[in-house]
Amino acid sequence: MILSELIRNVPNFPVNGIQFKDITTLLKNAVGFKTALDLLYEKAAGKGITKVVGIESRGFILGGALAVKLNAGFVPIRKPGKLPAEKVSQEYSLEYGTDRIEIHKDSVNEDDIVLMHDDLLATGGTMQAACKLVESLGGRIAQIQFLIELDFLKGREKLSDYHVESLIHYNAE
């Protein structure tokens, strides 16, 4: 199965000039969903992962499922104002602006070996900020995973201190 064939391209979303990679078309395909999950699991198995950190919101889908398969806890990183308990936050740059993310202060500690997951790597700013949050709490990042990587945006360069895995690569918009 070629997973990239299950990804829908949506032009000019969320803003003009962006070619949005819609994963809902992969997720609604049972075989495609399972194949992606199994491949991501294979890349993380055997690394002693104790927590999977998923980034809002599409990172929750496969990230949560990976946590179950890895017998690990799941930790959400969310947009501001979504987490109810004490939290830490980090601002970052997007390919089309800036944003901020937050994590609960008690969600990760120095005993945790962490798998970071999001659906897509573009410029790398979101994941870079997420890694800073996890490390500020003492977590040790074993691996970063993405379903999709937009190679032409060179986001991997911001994550050069980490082991990064992506299933689907796009070399042009």
Catalytic residues: 58, 95
Per DSSP, the three-state class of 84 is: coil
Pairing of strands 140-150, 164-170: parallel
From CA 125, how far away is CA 85, in angstroms rounded?
A: 25
Crossing angle of helices 59-69 and 30-44, in 10° steps, is: 60
- For residue 64, the 8-state DSSP code is H
From CA 3, how far away is CA 124, in angstroms rounded?
A: 22
Instruction: Please calculate the CA angle 160-164-170 and round it to the nearest 5 degrees.
Output: 100
